[in-house]
Amino acid sequence: MTNLICSGCGKKLLSYDKNGFRRYKSPVRKCKKCGKLYADPRCHEIAIEGVPDDVFSVKSYFFLIIFGVLVAWRGLYMFKRIQLGVPDEMQWFMPTVFLIMGAVCVIGGIAEIIFIKTGGKARKYERLRIESEERLRNNSYAELLRELGYKF
């Protein structure tokens, strides 16, 4: 995790992971304390950078589904075992967490694959690209991005 510090007042603005989730919207933000503008490194202008291939990769979501099945399976297995050091009334807790986590991965993975296959995801990113282009058509906005150190 990397911290972003306000260059105006030194307040911690946010912490982010360089390989973390990418958001496709304007990165321009304002420090809540002193009002200085900054670029949120998690946000990207799609018209400049394009979309990484893995956004439309069915394979990566397929692996997510397999992962979810394994986690859920592990949860089911744990239901039949007594966990040492866990009070009787809490024995259900960890298996249930595993089961829910696994189910979320499976359902999320299937939903993403359907979203890709039906073209819904492509339409969503096309809409984001048009919005990004419209923002960048404004010269003062593009200039502001450069001033804030947004990497082109």
Interface residue list for Zn ion (CB under 5 A): 6, 8-9, 11, 31, 33-34, 36
| Closest approach of Zn ion to the CB of residue 111, in Å | 39
Helices 58-79 and 93-117: crossing angle in degrees, nearest 10, is: 160
| 121-141 CB burial, b ≥16 within 10 A, e <16 | beeebeebbebbeebbeeeee
| Closest approach of Zn ion to the CB of residue 4, in Å | 11
Give whichever of 31 and 101 is closer to Zn ion, judged by the CB atom.
31
Give whichever of 9 and 58 is closer to Zn ion, judged by the CB atom.
9
| Closest approach of Zn ion to the CB of residue 33, in Å | 5
The residue assigned the tokens 């933000």 is 29
Residue 38 DSSP label: E
| Closest approach of Zn ion to the CB of residue 37, in Å | 10
What is the Cα–Cα distance from 132 to 45, expressed in whole angstroms? 6
Give whichever of 4 and 136 is closer to Zn ion, judged by the CB atom.
4
Give whichever of 8 and 20 is closer to Zn ion, judged by the CB atom.
8
